[in-house]
């Protein structure tokens, strides 16, 4: 299976062929403002490195995005969503880099809430391999990067394979991706700067959770009471993010100790395994540290051999149904002299003792907890990079690291 050859129909013409709208009346995608601006000319607060604080800008951005969302309706994703989303037989998510990890979180949400099967593909691989199409799929494209070749190529291939119902989730600077899809959730562009990828990633996770709710409601798998409960939890996120500011000094202290390490391990279970994967990717890209992520449940199948006093182990520990199993995994690491740095919910019973340091992120937030735990992971990579004197802004090379995915 190949991507479009010279002279073959363009992606736009393929989409028009499947669309109910005339070419000059492309379906509207939905844009949400994701920032509340500071006073004119005011600069955002700065962290100890003299750069804008990611958390201080993230909480208002989340609040701005959620301000107008008062109900779970297909129209959140564009004009034709009410016709397309309720008939989806499956979801195919195409993504690269860190967005792939967000997709893994979304898979858990969509399958648990809506009982719709989800397949996730690396766009860079999907576009070059033969695969079996499900014409009843909604194809979701994610990107936090300005390098869209793989994602656009994968969308084009999906359309050519007979899967025209495409949904792009991106910020408004990615107009190419937005216009390539029939449906869209487009956020206002987030200015370049410290932790831009972290902010965009948080917004994309919220959009994916809303998609899960819409799919669940369209299948009558979500009661009105459950819908309101989930919306209330979403509207509490700005406060939860702001609360995370109090973690900054502790994260900086951990970063000072981790900065001399050339290797790190990251662990998580269930929906938090992708959070660990994202944390490891951030540490590689931003702090230039070799980092690998594993499912904590897979430790005994090989990765445990890597544990030593010389390799720090960073863990995301929610207070969910897998908490006790995760505790058992952590004890295995501790018994081998592993040094554990654990981001845990306040209601997660992870004991702080010799070899296990625990930082409490806040109370368990149910299905939204992965969104909360990505924030300290991002900050840990950033402050480790600062301690290692890595340039994380100001050059094209380092900007690519921040924008990856």
User: For residue 78, what is the domain's CATH number?
Assistant: 3.40.50.10490
Q: 261 and 217, same structural domain?
A: no
- Where in the sequence is the domain holding 89, given as residue range(s)? 13-37+45-235
Give me the sheet containing 137-142, strands edge to edge: 30-32, 183-187, 166-171, 137-142, 90-95, 118-122
Q: Which two tokens stand for residue 81?
A: 């969503």
Between the alpha carbon of residue 327 and those of residues 141, 210, 276, 321, the distances in Å are 36, 31, 16, 11
Q: 286 and 154, same structural domain?
A: no
Q: 26 and 144, same structural domain?
A: yes
Number of domains in the chain: 2
Q: 151 and 130, same structural domain?
A: yes
Q: 251 and 214, same structural domain?
A: no
- Answer whether residue 64 is part of any domain: yes
Q: Which two tokens stand for residue 268?
A: 């998580």
Q: 119 and 22, same structural domain?
A: yes
Cα separation, 138 vs 141, in Å, equals 10
Q: 181 and 299, same structural domain?
A: no
**Residue 368's closest CA among 175, 212, 144, 157?**
212
**Beta-strand pair 30-32/118-122:** unpaired
pLDDT number for residue 9: 46
- For residue 32, the SS3 value is strand
- Answer whether residue 215 is part of any domain: yes
- Answer whether residue 89 is part of any domain: yes
Q: 360 and 340, same structural domain?
A: yes
pTM for the model: 0.84
pLDDT number for residue 246: 78
Q: 377 and 253, same structural domain?
A: yes
Residue 75 CA, chain-centre distance (Å), reads 22
User: Consecutive sets of 10 residues in the chain, 405 residues long: mean pLDDT of each?
Assistant: 39 46 44 37 41 64 87 92 96 95 97 97 96 96 87 96 95 81 79 60 93 96 94 94 85 96 95 96 95 92 89 94 90 89 91 84 93 93 94 47 43
Q: Are 376 and 244 in contact (CB under 8 A)?
A: yes
Beta strands in 77-235, from DSSP E residues, in sequence order: 90-95, 118-122, 137-142, 166-171, 183-187
Q: Which two tokens stand for residue 376?
A: 């300290």
């Amino acid at each position: 299976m190949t991507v479009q050859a010279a002279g073959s129909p363009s992606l736009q013409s393929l989409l028009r062929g499947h669309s109910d709208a005339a070419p000059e009346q492309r379906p509207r995608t939905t844009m949400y403002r994701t920032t509340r601006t500071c006073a004119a000319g005011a600069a955002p607060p700065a962290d100890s490195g003299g750069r804008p604080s990611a958390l201080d800008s993230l909480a208002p951005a989340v609040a701005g995005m959620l301000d107008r969302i008062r109900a779970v309706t297909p129209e959140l994703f564009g004009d034709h969503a009410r016709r397309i989303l309720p008939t989806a037989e499956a979801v195919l998510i195409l993504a690269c880099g860190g967005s792939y990890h967000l997709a893994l979180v979304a898979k858990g949400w969509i399958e648990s809430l809506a009982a719709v099967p989800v397949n996730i593909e690396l766009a860079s691989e999907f576009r070059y391999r033969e695969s079996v199409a499900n014409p009843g799929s909604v194809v979701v494209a994610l990107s936090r990067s300005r390098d869209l070749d793989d994602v656009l190529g994968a969308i084009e291939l999906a359309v050519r394979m007979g899967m025209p119902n495409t949904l792009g989730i991106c910020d408004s600077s990615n107009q190419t991706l937005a216009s390539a899809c029939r449906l869209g959730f487009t956020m206002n562009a987030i200015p370049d700067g410290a932790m831009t990828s972290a902010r965009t990633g948080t917004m994309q996770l919220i959009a994916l959770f809303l998609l899960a709710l819409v799919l669940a409601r369209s299948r009558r798998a979500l009661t009105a009471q459950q819908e309101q409960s989930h919306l209330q939890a979403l509207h509490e996120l700005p406060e939860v993010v702001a609360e995370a500011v109090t973690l900054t000094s502790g994260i900086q202290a951990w970063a000072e100790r981790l900065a001399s390490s050339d290797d790190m391990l990251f662990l998580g279970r269930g929906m938090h395994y992708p959070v660990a994967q994202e944390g490891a990717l951030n540490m590689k890209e931003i702090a230039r540290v070799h980092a690998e992520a594993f499912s904590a449940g897979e430790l005994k199948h090989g990765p445990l051999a890597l544990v030593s006093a010389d390799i720090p182990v960073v863990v995301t520990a929610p207070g969910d149904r897998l908490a006790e199993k995760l505790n058992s995994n952590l004890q295995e690491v501790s018994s081998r002299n592993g040094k554990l740095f654990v981001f845990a919910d306040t209601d997660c019973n992870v004991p702080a003792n010799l070899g296990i340091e625990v930082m409490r992120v806040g109370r368990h937030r149910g299905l939204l907890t992965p969104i909360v735990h990505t924030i300290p992971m991002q900050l840990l990579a950033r402050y480790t990079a600062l301690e290692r004197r890595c340039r994380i802004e100001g050059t094209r090379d380092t900007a690519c690291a921040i924008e990856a995915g």
